[in-house]
A and B are shown apart, each in its own frame.
Chain A
Amino acid sequence: MAKVREVEYLSIGGGMGSFCWVDTLRIHGVSFKDICVISPNKKPYRQLKLYCDAIGLTKNQRLRSDSGSRPDNFWGFPGYGLSEALDELKNKKFTKAAKLLLQLFFEPFIFGYYSPAAGRVYKALEREAKRIDWEKSLIIGHANNLTKFPDGRFKITYSRDNSIIARVVHLSLGHGKLRKIKSQKSKVKNAYELDNEFLNKIKRKGGTVMVIGRGTAAQKIVERLLDFKKIKVASLHREVESPKDFRGVKQKRFLSWRLQQFNWPRAAFGGGLMHESDSLWSLPSATPDKNWIRKVKNAIKDGRYEITKRPIKANFTIDCSGFGEAARTHEFYSKLIKKYNLPLTPNGSIRTGDAFEIEALCSYKTRVFISGALSGFSGPADSFFGAQFASFKTLENLNVKKMDFIESFEAWCRWLTNKKI
């Protein structure tokens, strides 16, 4: 029998969570030879791009995170905003550059918070992936199972009948299954499965479209639909909760849309609210985009938009209620939970320690971490910043030597000048 390959660090998923983890290890001096990534995708942003494209968040449209949430830059400086302003300066577009700089100085006032365009993020990830030799660590495949050996190491089987052994495993397998609603008579489609064919059908036939959900996806879809003529849009928003959180601070509302710039209040991303939680913070919310609000207000005036508390008879339904939050909705996690009887959090994610480690699987010298979507850690784990935060936490847990300020400056200069590690 051929000898099974053994590595020190193995990340399964190969999406944003994996990328941030591997990038962090590489920056801290781990060789690409000691790292493996199992993923069906070559590009770390492929899954994210598929979801974004489906809801109409194409490469020129702006995402939701702030300038410093840079999955391609461990330091978060320069943020995407400053980089964009410098690019505009290079292209001699001085007014655009000045506007960006003013926006960054005054945000969130006057011009609102800055968010990067999706295409800028993809391009930046592409550059960093090359710099850290991402593809040299990559094994294209689909992980099936994880088994813990008596000595603490882990065997991962992938694709048909391949396997690999690792001492430190990192899981970041993205979201679970898309939620499916029981269909009424109308045609129903999930927002993340939208294609041009379905949209063209809506355009052609006209009528009423019911949009379920109140997150970014629902916001984008409503905006897109309002551009079609002959169509009425109804948003299904069932419950209306108090707009105050445990601090007594009020969340903005527009009709029954919850408005907040980021998925969680900004201080939950590594600031003073990072150890706090409130059910209101994590509920789906829309961004306070003035143009979007104006568009919806005009549509209400024209009788083309309404909010309903109960499902209505519609010609088409687009479900934007997202993914199942429970880890069991993901095949790999589901098997793992059953096999090792892993403890879960109340919302069904896998319970972890402070360093994102699945304690039930760790031993003295070996670790399994889980980050990204579906990780059980409270706070905005399912975000670019969350993926970097998790990577930082695992670093501390693994006793990888942290950089002193000179090493950090040197490593940053390498990043800035795009020098390989």
Chain B
Amino acid sequence: MTPTLAGRLETRIVLSFFVALPVLVFAGMANIIFIMLAVGVALDFVYNYLQYKRWDGDWPLVFSFIAGVTEGIILWLIIDIRIPIYVLILVLTLTAQVLLGVFFPYRRFKGGRIL
């Protein structure tokens, strides 16, 4: 599945609220969800730009992983996020992203859009 910018943004918002937020609430740091989302959304524009520099215009799984690690480093630098919590969020988000297709089967025909 290859995302479009709209697909990326929708997926990020859904996964932030349904996967990252519960973990953050549990860790007592729910207030950082908005900073996390803002950093992610800003980077989505960069990812989208880079994606279309590739011949295949796709976004391999390993890129999602590298992007996740990059976002983690940025969040650690600006708000000193607790690393184990972030690693848990990253692993759950990547897994959820793969499983999303089971619940939203039309996504893959629409560049990853959920709506």
Taking Cβ atoms with an 8 Å cutoff, the residues of A that contact B are 68, 74-77, 104-109, 247, 249-252, 260-262, 265-274, 388-389, 392-393, 402-403, 405, 408-409, 412
Contact, CB under 8 Å: A249 / B53: yes
Considering only residues 13-31 of chain B, those with a C-beta below 8 Å from chain A are: none
The residue in chain B whose Cβ has the minimal distance to the Cβ of A251 is B55
On whether the beta carbons of A271 and B105 are closer than 8 Å, the reply is no
Q: Do B104 and A267 touch (CB < 8 A)?
A: no
Contact B1 A68 (CB under 8 A): yes
Q: List 27 A-B contacts (CB under 8 A).
A: A68-B1, A74-B105, A76-B108, A104-B61, A105-B61, A108-B56, A247-B52, A251-B55, A265-B55, A265-B56, A267-B57, A267-B58, A269-B2, A270-B108, A270-B111, A271-B4, A271-B111, A272-B2, A272-B3, A272-B4, A272-B57, A272-B111, A273-B52, A274-B111, A403-B105, A408-B102, A409-B102
Inter-subunit contact B55/A252 (CB<8 Å)? yes
Which residues of the other chain, A, contact B99 by a CB distance below 8 angstroms? 77
A26 to B5, alpha carbons, bound, how many Å? 32
Q: How many residues of B contact A (CB 8 A)?
A: 31
User: Are B1 and A107 closer than 8 Å at their CB atoms?
Assistant: no
Taken together as a complex, chains A and B put the C-alpha atoms of A405 and B103 apart, in Å, by: 5
Chain A CB within 10 Å, residue with most, of B98, B104, B106: B106
Residue B84 at the A interface, CB < 8 A?
no
Question: Contacting B60 at CB < 8 Å: which of A76, A107, A250, A268?
Answer: A107
Q: Which residues of B contact A267 (CB under 8 A)?
A: 2, 51-52, 56-58
Give the one of A104, A108, A252, A267 with max B CB within 10 A: A267
Q: Is A260 a contact partner of B55 (Cβ separation < 8 A)?
A: yes
In the complex the two chains form, is A272's CB within 8 Å of B55's CB? Answer: no
Partner pick for B102 among A75, A104, A261, A271, CB 8 A cutoff: A75
B12 beta carbon closer than 8 Å to chain A? no
A-side interface mostly: loop
Give Cα A113 to B3, complex, Å.
Answer: 18
- Tell me if B2 and A75 are in contact (CB < 8 A): no
Q: Are B2 and A270 in contact (CB under 8 A)?
A: yes
Are the C-beta atoms of A402 and B106 separated by less than 8 Å? yes
Assembly CA distance A344 to B88 (angstroms): 54
The 4 lowest CB-CB distance pairs between A and B, nearest first, are A271-B2, A267-B57, A266-B56, A405-B103
Q: A261 to chain B: which residues have CB within 8 Å?
A: 56
Q: Is the CB of A392 within 8 A of B101?
A: no
Cβ of B62 within 8 Å of any chain A Cβ, yes or no, is yes
Query: Is there contact, CB below 8 Å, between B56 and A270?
Result: no
Chain B's nearest CB lies how many Å from the CB of A234?
Answer: 28
B54 near A249 with CB under 8 A, answer: yes
- Give the contacting residue for B55; candidates A104, A249, A269, A388; CB below 8 A: A249
Q: Which residues of B are found within 8 Å of A274, using beta-carbon distances?
A: 111
Chain A residues, Cβ within 8 Å of B105: 74-76, 403, 408, 412
Determine whether the beta carbon of A272 is less than 8 Å from that of B51: yes
Nearest A residue to B3 via CB reads A271
Instruction: Check B57–A409 contact: CB distance below 8 A.
Output: no
The docked-state distance in angstroms from the alpha carbon of A63 to that of B75 is 42
In the assembled complex, which residues on chain B have CB atoms less than 8 Å from the CB atom of A252?
A: 55
- Whether A270 lies near B1 (C-beta < 8 A) is yes
Q: A76-B108, A266-B56, A267-B57 are in contact. List 19 more A-B contacts (CB 8 A).
A: A74-B105, A75-B105, A76-B105, A104-B61, A250-B55, A251-B55, A252-B55, A265-B55, A267-B58, A270-B110, A271-B3, A272-B3, A272-B48, A388-B109, A392-B106, A393-B109, A403-B105, A405-B103, A408-B102
Docked CA distance A128–B22 (Å):
38
A392-B56 CB under 8 A given contacts A104-B61, A405-B103, A409-B102: no
A266 CB to closest chain B CB (Å) equals 4
Chain B min CB distance to A210 (Å): 30
Which B residue sits closest to A281, measured CB to CB? B55
